[in-house]
Structure 1
């Protein structure tokens, strides 16, 4: 994946200063640097206590149980069609592994700036500790640091960017991402069942289940209403699985023109449909705009695992799902267009509609 992006000449501008360091300075001065200050986030209202609002919850154990699979598969399809997001419980990922993953990630972000710089993202690079989607010196920046790694296929890993401190980090991440790949493949199979398509036709687009991980660190900010942890966007992949490392909330999804907060259930994986899956399903499943807000008092840490289309495949609506509503293209063209759109809501996905 990284080689393909290099060939596409995606232009990023690297920054050396971490947001964690900026946040520490702000605690002393009380002032947020202008590059991080966003316009008031009131263009779309935030629904805090909407009656009847609840992100759908899908139970993997019920999907796998022949006696409840049909009913739970229908719930899964409805969640993908009407929300594009759901919480996955009883997913089968070992609890001890989840705990170790959270501990290792928190320990990494607790290191000194010098120690984290050992895996710093090079200028124009994609992997390592640093920042993405920085295209110019004038744009507004997100209030977040990240560690981005290609995790699958294994042969595409650049282990020089995988932290060795804490000492268990590499082994833990290897095991955790393998578990998530298995969960993702199972979900794709049940989605194919709900859609009434051959599961191999759906899985073929994700041959080998290419996977990347983005670990997000959102420092606290006393003026949290003036910054954004992550700009509104959709994910240019097939499916994303998000794990909250700590209990600090901040994810919001946009539904019917309004922003809804997501309160993660303990131990759950937050799953969302990406642009590729919306295209494959000819618009039946929805890739939903989402953002991350910042807590004024406490850091927030999450791990997002992205499962992407194979770059050599063709991305287009499955023929069984009616007249195509999106144009088809190869994986490289799609990925290049997604990055060129600069993480601006659904703009790129909407441009692909026929």
Structure 2
């Protein structure tokens, strides 16, 4: 079975599938990012009281099954019972805001290569959809310090 890195290397993305929309400079929604109800979701589909992301307590003995069910039905879940402090989570969120708040030119210095698995870029699943996702991401495998140095040559220490 191939590793994730090997799968990405063997199935490279085109550059326009890697570089995300520059949310700061966009003055209107480009047609490439306009999703209609026929694309699978209506604008009101994920609103209202019924919208509730599945919550899975990792200490529950049925957690693996619950995670699998949540991923199959929702594609995501909230994990609780992990013991990670709220303060640490706030610090992680602050660093994520700092990362994604960088100017686009700075983020592009850490752009994921077409066959790469790590770095800055759009979701790897983007090519499977007719429209682009409203998403930018930063995938880290291995040394977070190496990635942080690409973005913050001076001041990377707090990121990792």
TM-score class normalised by the smaller sequence: 0.5 to 0.7
Structure 1 pair 57–120 and aligned structure 2 pair: CA distance change class (3 A): closer
Which residue in 1 is equivalent to 2:14? Answer: 13
Higher relative contact order (CA 8 A, sep 6+): 2
Correspondences of 1:340-351 after superposition (within 5 Å): none
Aligned Cα RMSD in Å? 3.8
Q: Does 1:133 align with 2:135?
A: no
Correspondences of 1:1-354 after superposition (within 5 Å): 1=3, 3-5=5-7, 9-15=10-16, 17-19=19-21, 21=22, 23-27=23-27, 30=28, 32-40=29-37, 41-42=41-42, 45-46=45-46, 48-50=48-50, 57-59=55-57, 63=59, 72-73=60-61, 76=63, 79-80=66-67, 83=70, 87-131=78-122, 132-135=124-127, 139-151=130-142, 157=143, 160=146, 162-164=147-149, 165=152, 166-171=155-160
Distance 2:87 2:47 in 1: 35
CA contact (8 A) 1:58 1:89 kept: yes
Unpaired segments of 5 or more residues in structure 2? none
Unpaired segments of 5 or more residues in structure 1? 64-71, 152-156, 172-354
Distance 1:39 1:96 in 2: 39
User: How big is each residue's C-alpha offset from its partner over 1:31-58, in whole Å with a ceiling of 9 and x where there is no partner?
Assistant: x2221122223399557224xx865545
- Cα distance, 1:12 vs. partner? 0.8
CA contact (8 A) 2:33 2:134 kept: yes
Distance 1:135 1:96 in 2: 36
Structure 1 pair 95–43 and aligned structure 2 pair: CA distance change class (3 A): closer
Per the normalisation by structure 1, the TM-score is 0.33
Structure 1 pair 101–140 and aligned structure 2 pair: CA distance change class (3 A): same
Give the number of equivalent residue pairs. 145
Distance 1:96 1:105 in 2: 14
- Cα distance, 1:102 vs. partner? 1.2
- Cα distance, 1:25 vs. partner? 3.6
Distance 2:156 2:4 in 1: 25
Distance 2:132 2:78 in 1: 29
Distance 1:147 1:18 in 2: 11
Which residue in 2 is equivalent to 1:303? Answer: none
